[in-house]
Amino acid sequence: MRFVDEYRDPAAARRAVEEIGIVSGGEHRKFMEVCGGHTHTIYKHGIENVLPENVELVHGPGCPVCVIPMGRVDDAINLAEQPGVIFTSFGDMMRVPGSTSNLLEAKARGADVRMVYSPLDALRIAQANPDRQVVFFAIGFETTAPSTAITLLKAKEAGVTNFSVFCNHVTIVPPIKAILESPDLRLDGFIGPGHVSTVIGNRPYRFLPAQYGKPLVTAGFEPLDILQAILMLVRQLRDGRCEVENQYTRAVRDEGNVRALQILGQVFELRPHFEWRGLGFISHSGLKLSEAFADWDAELRFQVPGVRVADPKACQCGEVLKGVIKPWECKVFGTACTPETPIGTCMVSSEGACAAYYNYGRFTREAAASARIPVRSA
Amino acid sequence: MSPETTDFLYPFIEGDERDSASLLADLSASAEAKWGYSERLRQETLALCHDQLASVSAAMARRFEAGGQLFAFGNGGSATDADDVAQVFTRPPRGEPLPARSLVTDHAVLTALSNDIGFDVVFSRQLEAHGGPNDIAVGLSTSGNSENLLVAFRQAAKRGMLTVGLAGYDGGQMGRCDELQHCLVVRSDSVHRIQETQAALIHALWSAVQSEYQAKGAA
Amino acid sequence: MTLTHADTGAAGAGGDGPYEHGLTEDLARAALALARRFHAGGTMWCASPSWTFHAHHVAVEFVHPVIMGKRALPAVVVPPGADLVASLRATVRPGDMVVVVAGTAPSDPGGADVAEVMRRGPAWGVETVWIGAGTRPPAGAADHVLWLGTDDPLVASEQFVRIYHLLWELTHVCFEHSGLLQPDLCEEEVCITCSDEGRTAEVVAVDEGGDAVVRTAEGRERIDVSLIDPPRPGDLVLVHAGSAIASLEEGRS
């Protein structure tokens, strides 16, 4: 169990919680944190338990592992099992279920699947194994896409031809728009993703206040950052303002990382549409390699089945991702679907709402049910 | 015998405790109580020492007016208090800077004296070198029994210096030392709480000297 | 549990006396954090740009306990007069602690250096404790901010002694609860690879090829820095998937 006392600068956290209570004035407020990193922090530090009861958090689609559709995982496994291929992936993708298997099982069957921390590591593997084909399983939002882009620039510059990228990069703004279009959800505002925003800046969120009348505050990843962002949101609502604000000023500039954005523009282009687990096809939400980098595109270099697989019926990841239901309200949560044997992707990644809730939530829910946890012993 | 029955006797061997909440609450309550006790001790001591502070500060002001300087010394935490004395007199937050030095800052002198003669003389030998009849010796101790302070007070008295001591408990040997003209005692038996109130006494003394010195200067 | 000013007899009237709301809870939390770090072999570095004697007092409390039977703990004073950031950068190791007694700039001229040290805490892997008075540093400036409301430098100085004495006393109480000194049980692997992870790193050296050697709480590593303006040694950057995606220096004066 964690208390506000365990946050960085607990005194400041206590002040923020008290002020959220005063400023929100008992009014029911429902905010969505878009980013999986935030979801993780919220569960790990029990933020929901220190907030006043009238402030509710719902968890958004911002875990890149959780939103990858099953068909793309099947494609990845297919690539990994092609002869002569070294398939490289971030660790979190290893257990994500495809329709019949996952990458870890493919590795056990003999495929050369290797975990990397950076796409640059994958490129180094390619340089060290010139007689093998090295494929990097690129996933992630605008935070991660620049690292993939830099890697591709370096591969091109160094003339590394045995390296390619299976690109599944997605962008964060289209699903936010899709969620706002969904009729079954009422939200008062958004906690904007911090590290995505270091790249894209705060400007792309302007449509939220302008078109949907919803405020957004970009936040860092300390529990204190999230509390401050919530405070900024309730202040906006109290003052009748509706703006894009930046809590994470130590890292996020309004204009973003201009250099990274230029490189993204050079290496990638938008796909007409891309499938999101649970959310279906969302237009202009995915990236593929641009014409200039077609030679490094794994989807062009190899035969990829590209079969669309329907989400498992029992799994309600889509509703969880849209914030329509809480993780524990899913029919299979904690029974058929656990982190050891996940059905839905939300249970796989540690940033997935279901896994985060499963790991930390049982505690906090019991405690929250028995008594509201006092912010300080008074 | 179940393990719990002996827990109260040996709380420190309890290795399976996992929930920090109750410990944190205990710590916080303990800190509250100690803070409150420290604050009461400060107020009581300042009240008890009121007249003494007035006479000591007047005597100190006379020495400064005569061109004297202050030497402060102590051991361990009290050595840092000696530095505090030197700092507040020479770099005061308000009023006029007055000449003061700590005798614990020169490691060459401290190690030379300790090595060649003994630790008992580390302050007295420095007073022998620097101290004159207009000067002030301020020695700080919690026990009141530090030998090198007692030796230093004797040397200071011999040189005609004004001698001022800060001690705890019942004053210890400092309280019974003939060569020590003024001994301000913090009546507690906790080293920490004594030092906390001694810090307040240092500042009260400085403040009173400032008033005395300024009043005299204006007259 | 929390006493009011009247109960404690603390100086100052109403709610804005020197004795701050919640200070003892913060002390308790800081003490437990320090006990955990000492238990794991960490060293405490003590500094006070404007009150060197406080730094010495903190260190001597921990190294040479006044109470018989208490452990001597590794605490060191950062040499006064040294460049605080450079001095600590050279000596601290991941797992250490930095305890500083200082106000904030501009009222305490050393406050700016202290803020720089605290900002680097995550990259150096150290637990930071900032004891001070007057204008409070921005929220989150250190892991533990033990703050007094008073503007009187002498009142503050006296109460600093109480704060670090209590910190020492409470730290030793924590040693009697060995079960609570273990690393957090629920510390489960965070997705370090793919999603929105970002670690604070301090640049050690920059290569010509757009790479840099950086220092993080996990040790040294080589990262790509071509996505940001060329950093200088000592700059803080945010690392994600092997690349620096943002500089944490821009917009700082």
Shortest distance between the Cα of A138 and any Cα of chain B, in A, equals: 40
Candidate from B15, B27, B76 with C-beta closest to C173: B27
The residue ranges of every structural domain in chain C are 5-181, 199-247
Question: Would residue A50 count as lying in a domain?
Answer: yes
Alpha helical stretches, state H, A3-138: 10-24, 36-44, 47-50, 70-80, 103-108, 119-128
Residue C94: strand, helix, or coil:
coil
Stretches in chain C below the pLDDT threshold 50: 1-18, 185-195, 253
**Which pLDDT band holds residue A377 (cuts at 50, 70, 90)?**
very low
pLDDT at site C19: 59
Predicted confidence band of residue A6 (pLDDT cuts 50, 70, 90): low
Q: Test A140 with C241 for CB contact under 8 angstroms.
A: yes
Backbone angles phi, psi at C9, to 5 degrees: 70, 15
pLDDT value, residue A243 = 97
Six-digit token string for A362: 């049982």
- A3 to chain B: which residues are within 8 Å by CB? 21, 24
Measured in angstroms, the CA of C121 and the nearest CA of chain A are apart by: 11
Pull the structure tokens for residue B160. 């005609």
C-alpha to C-alpha distance for C103 and C110, rounded to whole angstroms: 8
Token pair listed for C122: 């995550």
Q: How near does any CA of chain B get to the CA of A371, in Å?
A: 15
Is the pLDDT reported for residue A136 higher than 50? yes
Structure tokens at B125: 């030998």
pLDDT tens per residue across span B59-89 = 999 999 999 999 999 999 999 999 999 999 9
> Shortest Cα distance from B29 to chain C (angstroms)?
6
Could you give the CA distance from residue B68 to residue B84 in angstroms, rounded to a whole number?
19
pLDDT in tens, A46-98: 898 899 999 999 888 877 888 888 899 999 999 999 999 999 999 888 888 88
Give tens-digit pLDDT for C97-153: 999 999 999 999 999 999 999 999 999 999 999 999 999 999 999 999 999 989 999
| Residue B28 near chain A (CB below 8 Å) | yes
Nearby residues of A174 by Cβ (< 8 Å), 6 or more positions away: A282, A283, A284, A285
pLDDT, position A367: 44
Whether residue B8 lies within 8 A of chain C, CB to CB, comes out as no
Range of the domain at A213: 12-57+187-246
Whether residue C154 lies within 8 A of chain B, CB to CB, comes out as yes
Q: One digit per residue, pLDDT tens: chain B, 219 residues? A: 444 555 555 555 555 677 788 899 999 999 999 999 999 999 999 999 999 999 999 999 999 999 999 999 999 999 999 999 999 999 999 999 999 999 999 999 999 999 999 999 999 999 999 999 999 999 999 999 999 999 999 999 999 999 999 999 999 999 999 999 999 999 999 999 999 999 999 999 999 999 999 776 655
Contact A253 C250 (CB under 8 A): yes
- Assigned CATH class of C199-247: mainly beta
**Topology of the domain comprising B20-218:** Rossmann fold (3.40.50)
Determine the residue type at B61.
A
Give residue B9's pLDDT.
Answer: 58
Residue B18: count of CB within 10 angstroms of its CB? 11
Contacts of A159 (CB under 8 A, 6+ apart): none
C139 shares contact with chain A (CB less than 8 Å): yes
pLDDT tens-place string over residues A238-247: 999 999 999 9
Subunits close to C (at least 3 CB pairs below 8 A): A, B
Strands (E), chain C: 44-47, 75-77, 97-101, 127-133, 144-148, 199-206, 211-216, 219-224, 236-240, 243-247
Query: Is residue A368 assigned to a domain?
Result: no
Rg for chain C (alpha carbons), in Å? Answer: 19
Q: So what's the pLDDT on residue A37?
A: 85
Report whether CATH 3.20.20.70 matches the domain C5-181.
no
Residue B10's pLDDT is: 55
Which two tokens mark A113?
Answer: 């699947």
Can you say whether the dihedral through the CA atoms of C30, C138, A234, C249 is positive or negative?
A: negative
**Inter-chain residue contact A351 with C191, CB threshold 8 Å:** yes
Partners for B (CB, 8 Å, 3+ pairs)? Answer: A, C
Of residues A167 and A376, more confidently modeled:
A167
CA C212 – CA C221 distance, rounded (Å): 8
3-state class of B124 per DSSP?
A: helix
SS3 percent helix, strand, coil of chain A, rounded to 5, is 45, 20, 40
What CATH number does residue A52 fall under?
3.40.50.11750
Domains C5-181 and C199-247 share a fold: no
From the list B180, B164, B150, B183, the residue with the least C-alpha distance to B48 is: B183
Instruction: With beta carbons under 8 A apart, name residues in chain C contacting A19.
Output: none
Closest residue in C to B34 (Cα–Cα): C166
In-domain check, residue A334: no
pLDDT in the model for residue A106: 96
B196 touches chain C (CB under 8 A): yes
CB contact under 8 A, B196 and C158: yes
Cα–Cα dist C207/C38, whole Å: 36
Q: Do C162 and B38 meet the contact criterion of CB atoms below 8 Å apart?
A: yes
H-helix or E-strand spanning residue C39 = helix C23-39
Residue identified by tokens 């590290």 is A195
Task: Calculate what percentage of chain A has a pLDDT beyond 90.
Answer: 60
The CA distance from A205 to A226, in Å, is 18
- Exposure string over C205-215, b if 16+ CB within 10 A, otherwise e: ebeeebebebb
Q: Does B21 touch chain A (CB under 8 A)?
A: yes
Q: Which of C186, C192, C224 comes nearest A150 by C-beta? A: C224
d(CA A95, CA A341): 9
Note whether residue A220 is domain-resident: yes
Q: Is residue A277 part of a domain?
A: no
8 Å CB contact of B27 and C52 = no
Total domains in chain A come to 1
Q: Which residue of C has its CA nearest to B43?
A: C9
pLDDT confidence of residue A131: 97
Instruction: Note whether residue A66 is domain-resident.
Output: no
C207 token code pair:
């290569």
| B44 inside 8 A of chain C by CB | no
pLDDT class for A351, splitting at 50, 70, 90?
low
